[in-house]
């Protein structure tokens, strides 16, 4: 083989590798929801798209070929009120070489007004022009949902998308910088790792099996929420979309994972649930959560026949502590009483604070032995330290109790009223004691008989 023939053979080999890479790349980008694109601004200010994935037609309302022929085919669909701002942020990104990210509106020819979210990273080319590599998606549904729930003007303002690719054995073979940054690790440290290794331990086994089963189904796709672990073992909550891809029918499947960090939203939802269902001072359940648990307990009893006990507890000698030591000391006492009550009940029971110095306890698998409640009242009477000078105070409590079984035709609010009446009876008959609503009913019946 002469030198010229050898060079030709090598060139053909390189060209073949380029074609295979291009085929893989096109399969990848066309399976990614949304649009993958390349955008360029020449040194003379001319704007154009060297590459645009075919998802543009569905997302933006014009074909990829039209966009690559004339960038105005894309920009003309942007809402006039948003176009100037979009162009301004593009110019800022070009001038500062910082990533461009924006949410804006378009008039889709078939779908009408839509919200799109785009993100891209700029780089200076050898000829002095600037090229961005980026991603675009339709976020209309998400936008509208967040506007209704949170009345927010912007969505995903701090989001970060990460992309990784796994082989047929679910080992990570490709990963982008955004995903590595999300976890606080290097890209190299992720390569070769099983994808399940980045999941929170309690999630990994069951979720991995669910994902594998979905990817093996005809659609070859899974979406849902995952919890990943950072390098410092902190949880990162992500909304993930996973798709199977093949370069051809004989090639093994690979899997593309697109992740969006939703940790702030998940934490905020958790905070809102905490605020809606728990007392801010003691951390105990509030009336709303108690009402839900009462409804569940009544339903469970009617199904299983297992009764439960509801008690309403009111502190004695609490007002003098507020008057003599101040409200901070009163808050310390309430928190300590709540801790003692919570520590005296079993898993599945509940302690709730209705307000002031009034608490409710819901006890499952509890019978009528008074020693249980006598011990609880004695526990509350133990001295409680308050303030910074080592003072101790002592409170007591009265407790009204009622029992729910399968034959009792009442609902949650009626049970609370029964417990409240029993509490009133306990306070009227010596305080620092427990009284049963059933005993109160018997007492009233006896009085009626005698009269």
Give the full edge-to-edge strand order of the sheet including 308-316: 350-355, 358-364, 308-316, 396-404, 434-436
Domain 161-269 in this protein, CATH class: alpha beta
Let me know if 164 is exposed, middle or buried by CB neighbors in 10 A (0-12, 13-18, 19+): buried
Question: How many CB atoms within 10 Å of residue 51?
Answer: 16
pLDDT at 129: 92
CA distance 301 to 364: 10
pLDDT bracket for residue 218 (50, 70, 90): low
pLDDT at 305: 83
If you average pLDDT over residues 348-363, what whole number do you get? 90
Confirm whether 27-150 and 161-269 share one CATH topology: yes
pLDDT at 159: 36
The CATH code of domain 27-150 reads 3.30.450.20
Residue 312 has pLDDT above 90, yes or no: yes
Residue 4 has pLDDT above 70, yes or no: no
If you average pLDDT over residues 345-364, what whole number do you get? 89
351/144: higher pLDDT = 351
Residue 8 has pLDDT above 70, yes or no: no
pLDDT bracket for residue 47 (50, 70, 90): very high
Express as a percent the part of the chain with pLDDT over 90.
28
Residue 359 has pLDDT above 90, yes or no: yes
pLDDT bracket for residue 410 (50, 70, 90): confident
If you average pLDDT over residues 164-182, what whole number do you get? 84
If you average pLDDT over residues 291-310, what whole number do you get? 88
Question: Tens of pLDDT along 97-119?
Answer: 999 999 999 999 999 999 999 99
Least confident among 41-50, 159-168, 341-350, 410-419: 159-168
pTM reported for the whole predicted model: 0.46
Nearest to 159 by CA among 117, 200, 193: 117
Query: In the chain, where are the structural domains located?
Result: 27-150, 161-269, 278-450
CA distance 190 to 345: 46
pLDDT at 383: 92
Assign domain 278-450 to its CATH architecture: 2-Layer Sandwich (3.30)
């Amino acid at each position: 083989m002469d030198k010229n023939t050898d060079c030709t053979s090598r060139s053909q080999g390189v060209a073949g590798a380029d074609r295979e890479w291009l085929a893989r790349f096109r399969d990848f980008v066309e399976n990614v929801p949304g649009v993958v694109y390349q955008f360029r601004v020449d040194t003379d200010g001319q704007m154009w798209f060297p590459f645009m994935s075919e998802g543009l037609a569905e997302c933006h309302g014009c074909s990829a070929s039209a966009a690559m022929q004339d960038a105005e085919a894309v920009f003309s669909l942007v809402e006039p009120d948003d176009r100037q701002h979009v162009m301004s942020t593009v110019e800022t990104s070009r001038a500062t070489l910082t990533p461009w990210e924006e949410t804006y509106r378009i008039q889709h020819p078939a779908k009408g007004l839509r919200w799109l979210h785009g993100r891209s990273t700029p780089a200076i080319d050898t000829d002095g022009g600037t090229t961005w590599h980026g991603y675009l998606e339709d976020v209309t549904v998400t936008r509208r949902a967040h506007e209704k729930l949170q009345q927010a003007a912007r969505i995903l303002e701090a989001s970060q998308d990460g992309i990784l690719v796994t082989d047929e054995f679910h080992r990570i073979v490709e990963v982008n910088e955004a995903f590595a940054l999300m976890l606080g690790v290097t890209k190299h440290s992720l390569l070769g790792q099983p994808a399940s290794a980045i999941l929170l331990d309690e999630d990994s086994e069951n979720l991995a099996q669910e994902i594998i089963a979905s990817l093996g189904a005809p659609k070859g796709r899974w979406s849902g929420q995952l919890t990943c672990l950072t390098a410092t073992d902190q949880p990162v909550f992500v909304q993930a979309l996973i798709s199977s891809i093949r370069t051809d029918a004989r090639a093994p499947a690979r899997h593309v994972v697109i992740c969006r960090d939703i940790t702030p939203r998940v934490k905020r939802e958790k905070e809102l649930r905490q605020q809606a269902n728990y007392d801010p001072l003691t951390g105990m359940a509030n009336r709303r959560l108690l009402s839900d648990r009462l409804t569940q307990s009544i339903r469970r009893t009617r199904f299983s026949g297992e009764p439960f006990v509801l008690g309403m507890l009111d502190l004695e000698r609490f007002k003098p502590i507020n008057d003599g030591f101040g409200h901070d000391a009163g808050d310390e006492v309430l928190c300590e009483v709540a801790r003692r009550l919570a520590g005296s009940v079993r898993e599945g029971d509940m302690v709730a604070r209705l307000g002031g110095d009034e608490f409710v306890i819901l006890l499952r698998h509890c019978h009528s032995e008074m020693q249980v409640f006598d011990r609880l009242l004695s526990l509350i009477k133990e001295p409680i330290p308050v303030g910074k000078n080592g003072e101790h105070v002592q409170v007591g409590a009265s407790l009204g109790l009622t029992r729910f079984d399968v034959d009792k035709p009442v609902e949650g609010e009626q049970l609370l009223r029964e417990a409240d009446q029993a509490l009133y009876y306990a306070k009227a008959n010596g305080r620092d004691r427990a009284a049963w609503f059933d005993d109160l009913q018997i007492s009233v019946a006896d009085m009626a008989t005698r009269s």
